[in-house]
Amino acid sequence: MNPNVDKIFNYKSYANIKDVPEVVDLAVLVVPASSVLEALEDCGKSGLKAAIIITSGFAETGQEGIDLQNGLVDIIQKWGISVVGPNCEGVFNADDHINLTFAPKRPPQGGISFISQSGALGANTMFRWAAERQVGFSKFFSSGNEAGLNSADYLEYLSQDPATQVVMIYLEGVKDGRKFVEALRKTCRVKPVVIMKGGETAIGARAVESHTGVLAGSDAVFSAACKQAGAIRVYDADELFDIAMTFAGQAIPRGKKVGLVTGAGGGMGVIAADACAKLGLSVPPFSEETVARLRNILPAYAPVKNPVDLTPIFDPMRLVKCTEIALQDESIDSVISMGFGWRSDLISVEAKAVEEFVKLRAYGKPVLVVTPASKWEFETLRTLEAAGFPVFLTPRRAAMALAALVANGEMRKEA
């Protein structure tokens, strides 16, 4: 629709929604804030049942905007329209090939869905990381000020969506606490939910006011609700992405016993061991049989008890073999493997090793990869991620993602 032209990109354009002969399925409103109410009223009159309001300038701007948003809510309720926004970046659905966002990059199709009160965090950050790392998304809801539909509605939908394996949420304020907690509980029972909350602190809550105009609410209450429901709460954007990616790609471990394999030097093993311990994971000694098998293929000075360190006498095939031996240990539930992408001189040999490595999925235990290759410069690392093996820049980050998987597994056992 546009009152000033007849055609947009060669499609016929109408002056007003009321002029369209059929009932339209969905309207995307990008008119100025002062025209939004009238436009939505027209939508209602035309029998339209769904709209996305991209426009900003509502409750996030102060009293005048709050009044405007209240007027919008009246219209929404009067006509019973399902409204996304206002002050949002739209909706994306990879499964139905619908992109109603203004995101510069789209993620590939996959099992992660994202509900976000920040449009930029979704469309500019997560989509970008997803596209770069070939991590697949299913649905994205930029919920904005939530004058109509709110996070609980989206969550309720995603809990039943078979294409969604993992739910990520970035939330600034909960509109209807009871409904949200119910939807969160329901979803956590069937799939992992990773959640980040803006406005944790008083300073953050003030920033929320001028962002989505919602009430950040008590952080202690929110935290308790997440814990009770079994959601995984995180505190930074990269953790949100990393953990969701790990859930999407790897199995839930049976327990918290981690095997550490490093072809990258013992320092990485030490840092990984500390990180695991601090996150409540355990790094038990390998079984005698495992130690003997590792000793058999490594030099006498190589540590083999867990962590196992390939030492500078490193080659990628031996990394695969040591990772496999660790996975075969009955007392080990998951492995962090640190060796790919460390040695640019061995990259030509890595491709073949990675081919073998991805077969380790057959053991049904999660395997996470650590590399300092911050530029994702090697094709081998992209191959690993495309095959569902998440790649982390440091051992602590891998341990953090693994701890989330373990916590989720424990929660499911208890439920």
Nearer to a second copy, 49 or 255 (CB): 255
CB of 9 to a second copy, least distance (A): 18
Contact residues for 122 (Cβ-Cβ < 8 A; gap 6+): 89, 101, 103, 114, 116, 140, 142, 170
Indicate the residue among 160 and 201 with the shorter CB distance to a second copy: 201
Query: Six-digit token pair at 131?
Result: 């596209």
Listed ranges 181-189, 356-364, 392-400, 406-414: which one lies at the site for a second copy (CB under 8 A): 392-400
Residue from 283, 322, 401, 403 touching a second copy (CB under 8 A): that is 283
By C-beta, is 17 or 403 nearer to a second copy? 403
Rule CB under 8 A: choose which of 16, 134, 287, 311 binds a second copy.
Answer: 311
Shortest separation between residue 268's beta carbon and a second copy, angstroms: 6
Q: Which of 91, 226, 244, 275 binds a second copy (CB under 8 A)?
A: 275
- Least distance in angstroms from the C-beta of 250 to a second copy: 21
* Residue 99 binding a second copy, by CB under 8 A: no
Contact flag: residue 158 with a second copy (CB under 8 A): no
Residues 117-146 that bind a second copy (CB under 8 A): 117-121, 124-125, 128-129, 132
Q: Does 267 bind a second copy (CB under 8 A)?
A: yes
Q: Is the Cβ of residue 180 or residue 342 nearer to a second copy in the bound state?
A: 342
**Tokens found for residue 252:** 């839930």
| CA–CA gap between residue 133 and residue 363 (Å, rounded) | 24
SS (H, E, C) the chain: CCCCCCEECCEECCCCHHHCCCCCCCEEECCCHHHHHHHHHHHHHCCCCEEEECCCCCHHHCHHHHHHHHHHHHHHHHHCCEEECCCCCCEEECCCCEECCCCCCCCCEEEEEEEECCHHHHHHHHHHHHHHHCCCEEEEEECCCCCCCCHHHHHHHHHHCCCCCEEEEEECCCCCHHHHHHHHHHHHHHCCEEEEECCCCHHHHHHHHCCCCCCCCCHHHHHHHHHHHCCEEECCHHHHHHHHHHHHHCCCCCCCEEEEEECCCHHHHHHHHHHHHHCCCECCCCCHHHHHHHHHHCCCCCCCCCCEECCCCCCHHHHHHHHHHHHHCCCCCEEEEECCCCCHHHHHHHHHHHHHHHHHHHHCCCEEEECCCCCCCCHHHHHHHHCCCCEECCHHHHHHHHHHHHHHHHHHHHC
Q: Which is nearer to a second copy, 217 or 266 (CB)?
A: 266
Residue 150 near a second copy by CB under 8 A: no
Q: How far is the CB of 170 from a second copy (least distance, A)?
A: 7
Out of 266, 295, 407, 412, the only residue in the binding site for a second copy (CB under 8 A) is 266
**Among positions 90, 199, 253, 390, the unique one binding a second copy when judged by CB under 8 A:** 199
What residues from 327 to 386 belong to the interface with a second copy (CB under 8 A)? Answer: 342-345, 372-376
Q: Which is nearer to a second copy, 89 or 324 (CB)?
A: 89
Least distance to a second copy from the beta carbon of 55, Å? 9
Q: Report, in Å, the least distance between residue 61 CB and a second copy.
A: 5
How many residues at the interface with a second copy, by CB under 8 A? 80
Between 159 and 175, name the residue whose CB sits nearer to a second copy. 175
**From the CB of 246, what's the least distance to a second copy, in Å?**
16
Q: Do 389 and 367 contact (CB within 8 A), yes or no?
A: yes
* 255 contributes a contact to a second copy by CB under 8 A: no
Residue closer to a second copy by CB (options 205, 367) is 205
* CB of residue 22 to a second copy, shortest distance in Å: 31
| From 270, 349, 386, 387, residue interacting with a second copy (rule: CB under 8 A) | 270
